[in-house]
Amino acid sequence: MNAISKDTALKFCELCNWAYESWLTHRRLFDDNRNTDETIGKAKYFTSRLSIITQEYTLLQICKLHDPAIQKNSLNNNIDYIVRFGDWGPDAAHIQKLASQLDELFEKLKSVRNKVLAHHDLDALMSSATLGEFPKGLDDRYFSVLQELVNAVHTKWIDGPYPFNDLAGPDVDEFLSILEKA
């Protein structure tokens, strides 16, 4: 197995950041929006669909970070790959602990990934059962731990931490402000 390259490490950080930006966009637009009547409520049917789309997309981005590092003859640049092939030396136990904490959320999402996001499982679709629930605040903790892992990866292969891009939040605020004025 080839050692992780600087480019591979950077791409991993970017993929994690994209999952974060997707989550932050959905959260600020729908979950944290306290003025829905004057913003997204103006186009409630469209924004209801948009909420589902952004939620499913975010969950899929998170789930892809938890695929196996090796699937058939392909490698996936994700948490498993970084942990398994990162040659973490004395930091290995800490990195494995971070990965285990991240798996806590993924375990709650695995059924929705396997039954709805990646496949159209007939029984799941017909039963209308809720899949992929997780306790309030677990998503915040997930991205906090993911940030810690990303910082460790970026520090090891590039230099210093890699803060997630929080600009998605102000972008959503600007969009909501435009809707308020419309």
Q: What is the pLDDT of residues 68-104, one digit of tens each?
A: 999 999 999 999 999 999 999 999 999 999 999 999 8
Q: Hey, what are 119's tokens?
A: 């496949």
Structural tokens at position 41: 């409520």
Please tell me the predicted confidence (pLDDT) of residue 3: 79
DSSP conformation class of 35:
-
- The structure's pTM equals 0.92
Q: Which residue ranges in the chain fall short of pLDDT 70?
A: 1-2, 121, 131-134
To which H or E segment does residue 11 belong?
A: helix 6-26
Computed on alpha carbons and rounded to an integer, the radius of gyration of the chain in Å comes to 18
For the chain, what are the domain ranges?
Answer: 6-170
Q: Measured on CA atoms in the order 157, 161, 164, 165, is the torsion positive or negative?
A: negative
